C-alpha cells in the first residue's frame, strides 16, 4: 500500500523510550497546530514520519515559543501545565492520578520542578539546529531561561542518561557535587507531552512496561490504544523497558533502554 508522502521526518532510536514517546508528542502537537496530521514509523523503525500541512521548522519554532501555563503556580514541583498558543490547548497532567494509568511513570521528585524543567527544555529548543531530523540527538547543558548561570537537570526520560545515573555507577553523586551534564531537550520535553496522549502497557513486573511501534499512518486520537498494543496495527513491534530507581532513596527514576520482544506478549 502506498502511503501519503510525509513532509516531516525525524530520526529515532525506538529502543530509547524517551525518543519513542517524544515522537508521539510531536505528532500530537502537529495535530494541534494543523488538525488531521498523521504519523508512523518506517518499517525498520529508524525514522518517524508525519504528513501534515506544515514543516518541521514551523512545528519546532512553534513549540519553542509556545505558552506554558502552570495549573498550580504555587506548586512548582509537581504542578500540571497547559501547552497553549499557538497550539490548541493541551493539559499535561498524566502523573496526577492513578486513573490515567501513568502515575508510576513519573521520574522526577524532590526539588525537581515539573514546570521549570519543561520551560527550560522547551526554551533550549529555540536553537535553529533543532529544526532538523536529528533533533533528538542534539545534546547540551541546559540552563534556566532567566539565569544562564543556573543549570537545569532534565526529567531523565532519555535512556542515554541512565547507565551513569546512579552514584554506584560512577563512584560519586554528580547531583550532590552540582556537576553539569548533557541533556537532550527535545527528547525530554516532547516525551513529557507524549505521555499525555500515549501510554505503555504495564506488565506483571513492577515498573516494567511495554510499548509498540506502528508502520501505517495514524491520527493522534489513536495513539493511546496503539502505543499500548491494545489496538493492533500493521508492522507492529513491541519493546519492553524499566522505569528504574536511579538513587538509593528510591524516589528519582529514569527510563532504561528498551529491548525488542520476539513476540507480542498480550496479557502479560
3 lies in a domain? no
In this prediction, residue 233 carries a pLDDT of 84
Helix axes of 56-64 and 17-33: crossing angle, nearest 10 degrees: 90
1 lies in a domain? no
Closest among 192, 165, 160, 189 to 179, alpha carbons compared: 165
Q: How far apart are CA 25 and CA 191, in angstroms?
A: 6
Q: How far apart are CA 255 and CA 250, in angstroms?
A: 14
217 lies in a domain? yes
Show pLDDT as tens, one digit a residue, over the chain (268 residues): 678 899 999 999 999 999 999 999 999 999 999 999 999 999 887 999 999 999 999 999 999 999 999 999 999 999 999 999 999 999 999 999 776 567 789 998 878 889 999 999 999 999 999 999 999 999 999 998 888 888 899 999 999 986 654 444 444 344 444 555 799 999 999 999 999 999 999 999 989 999 999 999 999 999 999 999 999 888 899 999 999 988 766 678 999 999 999 765 554 4
CA dihedral over 95, 97, 103, 109, signed as positive or negative: positive
Q: How far apart are CA 181 and CA 136, in angstroms?
A: 16
In this prediction, residue 162 carries a pLDDT of 64
Q: How far apart are CA 69 and CA 124, in angstroms?
A: 17
pTM of the model: 0.90
For the chain, give the longest Cα–Cα distance: 55
12 lies in a domain? yes
Count structural domains, the chain: 1
2 lies in a domain? no
169 lies in a domain? yes
In this prediction, residue 66 carries a pLDDT of 96
- Structural domain that includes position 27: 8-260
267 lies in a domain? no
60 lies in a domain? yes
Amino acid at each position: 500500500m502506498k502511503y501519503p508522502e510525509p513532509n516531516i521526518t525525524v530520526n529515532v532510536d525506538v529502543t530509547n523510550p524517551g525518543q519513542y514517546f517524544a515522537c508521539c508528542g510531536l505528532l500530537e502537537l502537529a495535530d494541534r497546530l494543523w488538525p488531521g496530521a498523521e504519523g508512523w514509523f518506517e518499517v525498520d523503525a529508524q525514522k518517524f514520519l508525519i504528513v501534515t500541512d506544515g514543516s518541521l521548522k514551523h512545528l519546532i519554532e512553534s513549540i519553542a515559543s509556545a505558552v506554558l501555563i502552570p495549573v498550580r503556580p504555587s506548586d512548582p514541583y509537581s504542578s500540571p501545565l497547559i501547552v497553549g498558543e499557538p497550539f490548541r490547548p493541551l493539559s499535561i497532567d498524566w502523573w496526577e492520578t492513578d486513573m490515567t494509568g501513568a502515575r508510576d511513570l513519573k521520574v522526577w521528585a524532590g526539588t525537581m520542578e515539573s514546570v521549570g524543567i519543561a520551560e527550560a527544555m522547551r526554551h533550549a529548543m529555540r536553537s535553529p539546529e533543532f529544526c532538523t531530523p536529528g533533533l533528538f540527538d542534539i545534546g547540551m547543558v541546559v540552563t534556566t531561561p532567566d539565569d544562564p548561570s543556573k543549570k537545569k537537570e532534565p526529567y531523565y526520560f532519555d535512556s542515554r542518561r541512565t547507565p551513569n545515573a546512579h552514584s554506584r555507577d560512577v563512584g560519586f553523586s554528580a547531583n550532590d557535587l552540582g556537576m553539569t551534564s548533557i541533556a537532550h531537550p527535545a527528547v525530554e520535553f516532547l516525551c513529557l507531552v507524549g505521555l499525555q496522549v500515549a501510554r505503555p502497557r504495564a506488565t506483571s513486573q513492577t515498573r516494567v512496561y511495554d510499548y509498540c511501534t506502528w508502520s501505517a499512518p495514524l491520527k493522534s486520537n489513536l495513539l493511546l490504544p496503539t502505543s499500548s498494543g491494545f489496538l493492533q496495527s500493521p508492522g507492529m513491534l513491541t519493546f519492553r523497558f524499566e522505569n528504574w530507581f536511579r538513587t538509593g532513596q528510591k524516589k528519582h527514576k529514569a527510563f532504561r533502554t528498551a529491548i525488542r520482544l520476539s513476540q507480542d506478549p498480550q496479557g502479560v
